[in-house]
Amino acid sequence: MSEYRKLSAHFIFPVHSPPIQNGIITVDHEGKIIDIQESSQKETYNVEFYNGIIVPGFVNCHCHLELSHLRNILHPGGEITGFITQMRERRNEKAEKAVSEATMYDQLMFKEGIVAVADIVNSDITAKLKNESLIHYINYIEVFGLNESEAGNIFNRARQLKKLFKNSHISPHALYSLSPGLANLLSLHKEDTATLHYMEASDEAAYLRTLTGNLKANYQQYFPNEKHQPASLDQLFNPTTKLLLIHNLYISKNEEEYIQQQFPESYRVLCPASNLYISNQCPSYQIFKEDRICLGTDSLASNQKLSMLQEMLEMQNAHPELCFETLLSWACINGANALDVSKEMGSFEPGKKPGIVLLENFDFQTFRITKKTTSKRLV
């Protein structure tokens, strides 16, 4: 038996270079790329040919694996304030299935070609399965809370959780969900990489800009005699922080330009299926730098699948001008750069171990994915 596998399809998409028609990719037994070449009539021996296209493994830049048991529990719609209310009331429903559901969807993500995941952590229930998973996880221990007296306890709990997970970092939930004390603790313990739910809803944008909107009521119970001042990006993060801003539905052009200038290592993670589920909106992309756009699935509390292919399809449906190669770069190399795993993942280059994924039922006439397109891991 040969120590190498040779795989081919109608097209191979290396991502960092143009697609190769009937190309051949050679890998060793560990999945390391040895060579990518154009086809040759002489090169047919031991070549596995697949009907479809071959792409690198996907990088999911935003997920909440521990919420997998909430699939079909929370009602769609209701905007972010309605979603937050449902999460408070129903987060513990079917909690006895939390570990088994998370395990099932970890395995499904792997089978469908996801190789790395930026995952939000609020509890220890996924620690064992992720530490043993075939997927590479970057764990963001999320902190939030408006009760000033609990700030120290919240932060200390996050520090204890961090010890249970590989590749873990403490990170704030959102600018609007931190008490002043908790924001101060985060500012004193800044991490090299962080994630932040940002400008996900009109209520959030109104509160961050003018201290108005529906979120205001949340704060009056904690700060009845004063205005709660939300935390700021400058307070929580260093200019060099590799910062993943999640959702980005309501960023203005001026705000985006400021972020690009102040946080040049930041990325925009779009989660279209989740946004459609919560607020029936799909994110725009035009004001963002294309090499800084990534995709994420969010959680099954606000999505039907943890599928990067589905996120690509939602963006394509909302923005027909987007070509497949652009979407693929968002789902692969941009995400790998954002999570600092591009030396191993994100593109087909000799020496990398990016995973090899087959997309079947690809539309070769339009060069687009469709709702019939499926993904499955080959390597």
Amino acid (one-letter) located at 327: L
pLDDT in tens, 115-146: 999 999 999 999 999 999 999 999 999 999 99
pLDDT value of position 262: 98
Contact (CB, 8 A) for 336 and 58? no
One domain, residues 186 and 257: yes
In a domain, 233, yes or no: yes
CA-to-CA distance for 62 and 353, rounded, in angstroms?
Answer: 21
In a domain, 337, yes or no: yes
Strand, coil or helix: 331: helix
Contact (CB, 8 A) for 356 and 6? no
One domain, residues 65 and 42: no
Return the higher-pLDDT residue of 92 and 330.
330
The yes-or-no verdict on residue 371 having pLDDT over 90 is: yes
One domain, residues 153 and 46: no
Structural domain range at position 219 = 58-345
Two tokens, residue 349 = 């280059």
Structurally, the chain folds into a number of domains equal to 2
The yes-or-no verdict on residue 220 having pLDDT over 80 is: no
One domain, residues 277 and 300: yes
One domain, residues 42 and 173: no
* Residue closest to 24 by CA, chosen among 83, 4, 85, 272: 4
The yes-or-no verdict on residue 331 having pLDDT over 70 is: yes
DSSP letter at 193? E
Strands of the chain (E only): list them.
4-12, 20-21, 24-28, 33-37, 47-56, 58-63, 114-121, 136-143, 168-172, 193-198, 242-247, 267-270, 293-295, 356-360, 374-377
The yes-or-no verdict on residue 1 having pLDDT over 70 is: no
The yes-or-no verdict on residue 299 having pLDDT over 90 is: yes
pLDDT value of position 40: 61
Predicted TM-score (pTM) of the model is: 0.95
One domain, residues 23 and 83: no
Q: How far is CA 132 from the centre of its chain?
A: 20
pLDDT value of position 216: 77
Q: What contacts 64, CB < 8 A, 6 or more positions away?
A: 119, 120, 122, 298, 299, 301
pLDDT value of position 270: 98
Between 220-224, 281-285, 328-332, the lowest mean confidence (pLDDT) is in 220-224
One domain, residues 15 and 156: no
The yes-or-no verdict on residue 57 having pLDDT over 80 is: yes
Between 7-11, 139-143, 211-215, the lowest mean confidence (pLDDT) is in 211-215
pLDDT value of position 242: 97
CATH number at residue 70: 3.20.20.140
pLDDT value of position 349: 98
The yes-or-no verdict on residue 42 having pLDDT over 60 is: no
Mean pLDDT of the chain: 93
pLDDT in tens, 144-165: 999 999 999 999 999 999 999 9
Contact (CB, 8 A) for 272 and 297? no
pLDDT value of position 226: 67
In a domain, 289, yes or no: yes
In a domain, 355, yes or no: no
